[in-house]
Homo-oligomer: A and B are copies of this chain.
Amino acid sequence: MVEVEDTYCEAFSGIYTRLIVTAKYKYLLEKAVYSATALPSTVFGESEAGVERWLSPEETPDGRVGAVIQIWVPKTKKFMDVLLREMGKRIRQGILVVPTTRVFNACEGEKIDVEINVGRCGDGYEWFEERWGREVIVVPIMFGEFVIERYIGYAEGVAGGNIWYFCESEESALEVGERAVEALKDVDGVITPFDVCSAGSKPETKFPEIGPTTNHPYCPSLKGKIPDSKVPEGVKAIPEIVINGVSLEAVKEAMKVCIEVGMNVDGVVKISAGNYGGKLGKYKIYLRELI
């Protein structure tokens, strides 16, 4: 029986946008989507992103293959500046540059007129029209045209939900991590910006200029070398699944699925989660309430 530690994960308010990306062929869709959601860089003052779900042609506005992605920025006073910039960057440098792509809104809530941060790539030669029942901006590009829905929503969600798996080997760590990420593809409204994350962090650090640093008490390779190690005997790897979701319920559901997955993988000895003593995050999600 796998132990579920009596602890909680600390999660944060974040601002997200949620998009449908489509393309002519699946290989182009994958290129655009993986690029646009790569490099989770919130700790660099930027953003993080992920694929929520792949869509069949029957599920997209333009009948092509597609995917739902989310882009997240921290909820700060100036979040709108960061959101405009980061959404613009991920859409323009990740999607628009890939041939045949289009972007549609998939987020209820307040709307942004993305003419400002995306449409103007057209240098004023872009235009508005209605297609597939949506108002879109058509940006002329050298390959043809890039189409994006004009009004894209954003909303407040919950970021930084997480599950830790204490594992006896790299092998079981990869297996449980990958299974969890796959299982979450069936949970609505959530992404895993790092997928199977190899490097959990703590907020306090000796080098503030470098950003969050390694969570040293939970590093198996420090066991026996430091006085404050919290790695149990026999544990060799502790992968983390970071979860962002459109609501607290979505994140809780995702964590519940992660716990279930972890219960059934050989080599997982304990399931836990990361918190910062409750000082940082708005939300506390107790693991034992999820079982």
CB pair A198 B99 closer than 8 Å: yes
Closest beta carbon of chain B to A117's beta carbon, Å: 7
At the interface with chain B, which of A9-17, A72-80, A231-239, A281-289?
A: A231-239
Q: From the candidates B43, B237, B239, B260, name the one contacting A58 in the complex (CB within 8 A).
A: B260
Bound form: Cα–Cα A122–B201 in Å: 10
Any B CB within 8 A of the CB of A189? no
CB pair A35 B27 closer than 8 Å: no
* A250 neighbours in B (Cβ, 8 Å): none
Given known A58-B260, A63-B261, A89-B39, contact A213–B120 (CB-CB < 8 A): yes
Q: Which residue of B lies closest to A263 (CB)?
A: B63
Bound form: Cα–Cα A64–B182 in Å: 9
Closest beta carbon of chain B to A114's beta carbon, Å: 11
Any B CB within 8 A of the CB of A247? no
Bound form: Cα–Cα A271–B56 in Å: 20
CB pair B169 A65 closer than 8 Å: no
CB pair B58 A207 closer than 8 Å: no
Any B CB within 8 A of the CB of A40? yes
CB pair A174 B123 closer than 8 Å: no
Bound form: Cα–Cα A43–B97 in Å: 13
CB pair B26 A25 closer than 8 Å: no
Any B CB within 8 A of the CB of A124? yes
Given known A120-B210, A207-B120, contact A56–B185 (CB-CB < 8 A): yes
CB pair B213 A122 closer than 8 Å: yes
CB pair B199 A146 closer than 8 Å: yes
CB pair A214 B125 closer than 8 Å: yes
Q: Convert A67-95 into 0s and 1s, putting 1 for each residue whose CB lies closer than 8 angstroms to a CB of B.
A: 00000000000000000010011100110
CB pair A219 B25 closer than 8 Å: no
CB pair A99 B170 closer than 8 Å: yes
Bound form: Cα–Cα A194–B98 in Å: 8
Closest beta carbon of chain B to A193's beta carbon, Å: 10
Q: Which residue of B lies closest to A274 (CB)?
A: B142
* A93 neighbours in B (Cβ, 8 Å): 39-41, 43-44
Bound form: Cα–Cα A99–B170 in Å: 9
Bound form: Cα–Cα A139–B198 in Å: 12
Given known A125-B222, A171-B169, A183-B58, contact A141–B39 (CB-CB < 8 A): no
Given known A38-B38, A125-B219, A216-B123, contact A183–B144 (CB-CB < 8 A): no
* A196 neighbours in B (Cβ, 8 Å): 98-99
Any B CB within 8 A of the CB of A156? no
CB pair B205 A123 closer than 8 Å: yes
**Which residues, 25 to 55 on A, are CB-close (under 8 Å) to B?**
25-28, 31, 34-36, 38-41, 43-44
Task: Beyond A125-B214, A142-B215, list 7 extra A-B contacts (CB 8 Å).
Answer: A25-B25, A38-B39, A62-B264, A99-B239, A123-B205, A140-B222, A143-B238
